[in-house]
Amino acid sequence: MDKSPDAFRTISEVADDLDLPQHVLRFWETRFPQIKPMKRGGGRRYYRPEDVDLLKGIRHLLYDHGYTIKGVQKLLKTNGNKFVISVGHGDLASVEALAAGVQDAGEPRVGMAEEDQIVGRAKPPITRRFFNFVAGDDDQPEVSIGKSSVGKEDRALLQEALYDLLECKRLLDQVR
């Protein structure tokens, strides 16, 4: 039985929904004061739908766009919760409207140019495009290395492995 969209969620439900470990959500509570789950007896956390939406936006910025925690904190401070929630939903019209409202108020809008906001590269899109080619392109020649050659499928797997390594490096750099 599914819960209603307005129902509170436990930390395990939110962690499963966001594909994150529970300890990451607890850690984010220490870094983002905007995340305030309701706590019941024994310290059990219950997340409101707004909290879950904010967590989705934070996750999207950190994992998909390569922002650092400090960068997301700046976005939240200058643009507000609604901005990050809109980013998480992929609602570009709302993002642009909220960002324009912040600029009109005279506050600087945090953009992608600041050095401490982005670490590494964002994850590849689901289309399986890696760097400058798409797996399965017929116009891509095979690459020869010595006596052996690397086919298109192997090259795509190597590119994917390289991308995974770059993502691991980005995550390790964030921890430092």
**Lowest-confidence segment of 28-32, 53-57, 75-79, 89-93 by average pLDDT:** 89-93
Instruction: Report the half-sphere exposure of 163 (CA within 13 A, side-chain side).
Output: 19
Would you state the structure tokens that stand for residue 62, as one six-digit string?
């950190």
Per-residue pLDDT at 93: 64
**Domains of the chain: residue spans and CATH:** 9-102 (1.10.1660.10)
d(CA 56, CA 115): 23
Q: What is the pTM of this model?
A: 0.56
pLDDT in tens, 8-65: 899 999 999 999 999 999 999 999 999 999 988 888 999 999 999 999 999 988 988 8
Is the distance from CB of 75 to CB of 81 less than 8 angstroms? no
pLDDT at 126 over 60: no
The CA-CA-CA angle for residues 102, 56, 70, to 5°, reads: 60
Hey, what amino acid is at 96?
E
Contact residues for 69 (Cβ-Cβ < 8 A; gap 6+): 31, 62, 174
pLDDT at 140 over 60: no
